[in-house]
A and B are shown apart, each in its own frame.
Chain A
């Protein structure tokens, strides 16, 4: 499984765009990139998933360069409620036959949004 590296923490202000980058230098050909958001005392929840180029949904965008060795989660116009820990997860989307997908999370990025 590809190891991921993220900044430990970030600060922003309401209304700004926030970009959180995840490094995954040894990503495999079949690996997808998934981002999760976690609030205190809650389980992480899925934000967005992508394989290459750009993916956008109602809450975020995910930018993946051609070499796929990194990815950037973009949160447009953050609010105080976006204060949370964000995790980048890399792994194989394909069904594992006879194997296991351990789904190892990194330390995540603590985003603090200020008024």
Chain B
């Protein structure tokens, strides 16, 4: 059974700092891995999608990597801003079209 774990559960950093969020999954048989952002009381916004054949994806200040063989992904946020404060969710897409989510990392960027 696929399980997705995110560490840390919560993170607080000062503005301007670079940071890394971690995601691990137990079964390497995935189609893709996605990082989402969730603001309080809101839905999820897709940030990056990495296909199983890819190693990384970049969008602006965000860079996500995927090491399928070791079951790990990282989301790197450069020069963090208070507006980056949110919960970040990692999810893997498995056979049958199911997205399996981690519990998320709650990020707080202090001005």
Our verdict on whether A and B bind, yes or no, reads no
